[in-house]
Each structure stands twice: as C-alpha cells, then as structure tokens.
Amino acid sequence: MKKLIHKISILSFIICLTCCESINNNCDEIYDLMNKQEDSWNRGNIDEFMSKYWNNDSLIFIGKSGINYGWKKTISNYKKSYKNKIDMGQLEFNNIICNPINKTTHIITGTWNIYRLDSIENISGYYTLIWEKKNNGWKIIYDHSS
C-alpha cells in the first residue's frame, strides 16, 4: 500500500509540474502576442492590433470613457482616438504579472506607454487584460485600461 501511495504521489507531482509548465508556456505565448500587438500599433495598423481581441459583441473594454461592449465599438473608439500614426506614437507594454485562472484563461496586468513626438504629449497607464484560449487562439475578452 505504501508503494502505491508513493507512486500516486510521484505521478501527481509530475502531473502538477506538467500543468504548471503548460500554464507558464501560455503566459509566454500571450506575451508574444502582446509583442506582436506593439509591433502592429507601432506600424500604425489598428486593424492588426485589434486582431488579438475577441471579435464578438461580448468583448468588454473599460477605459476613460467608461464601459464599452463589442469588438466593433472598441475598434471604432481606437480609430477615433488615434486618427494617424503621429497620434498613435510608439506603444510599449510592460507586463507585470500573468495570473493563470486555468489552462484557457489568464489575467495579464501591466503598464502601457505611448511615446509621441515632442509636440504631442506622451500618455501612459495601467491595464488588466483577460485572455481566453479560443478555437482560433488566445484572444482578449476583457480589457480595463486606465
């Protein structure tokens, strides 16, 4: 009986390590997607930047103007606020922590900075993003940026 309990304990430990490694890999994968978002933004491509968001009416975006629902509303707001590459500036994310809820849902918290030409003010803030693994990959389903 002791050998069986020992084998079960070892197996449980291995499963836990595998699960933790998978979750850490998910964080790395999400960080890579956020790097691609920075690149898209910095090239002035809001459409490509938004491809990492869930294209659904249930997407939630909370910003300075309050709560907005839906992918179409979110991309419309971005395009109204950032009419051209100069307004967009250079985006930089600084991910502070990745909190896995489970294998398919992670919360990313960090800071964002947009650096612009001297004539336009730089802006910055914080974000909390909920990323969820969908059939077509990881997508942001909730964005609270301040």
Of residues 6 and 62, more confidence is placed in 62
The answer, yes or no, to whether residue 16 has pLDDT greater than 50, is no
- The pLDDT value recorded for residue 120 is 82
Of residues 17 and 69, more confidence is placed in 69
The answer, yes or no, to whether residue 18 has pLDDT greater than 60, is no
- The sheet carrying 66-69 orders its strands as 66-69, 60-63, 137-145, 123-134, 105-115, 90-102
Q: In whole angstroms, give the CA distance from residue 137 to residue 54.
A: 10
The answer, yes or no, to whether residue 22 has pLDDT greater than 90, is no
CATH number of the domain at 2-145, out of 3.40.50.300, 3.30.429.10, 3.10.450.50, 3.40.50.980?
3.10.450.50
Q: In whole angstroms, give the CA distance from residue 135 to residue 133.
A: 7
Q: Is 131 exposed, middle or buried, given 0-12, 13-18 or 19+ CB atoms closer than 10 A?
A: buried
The answer, yes or no, to whether residue 108 has pLDDT greater than 60, is yes
Q: In whole angstroms, give the CA distance from residue 77 to residue 66.
A: 12
33-58 tens-digit pLDDT: 999 999 999 999 999 999 999 999 99
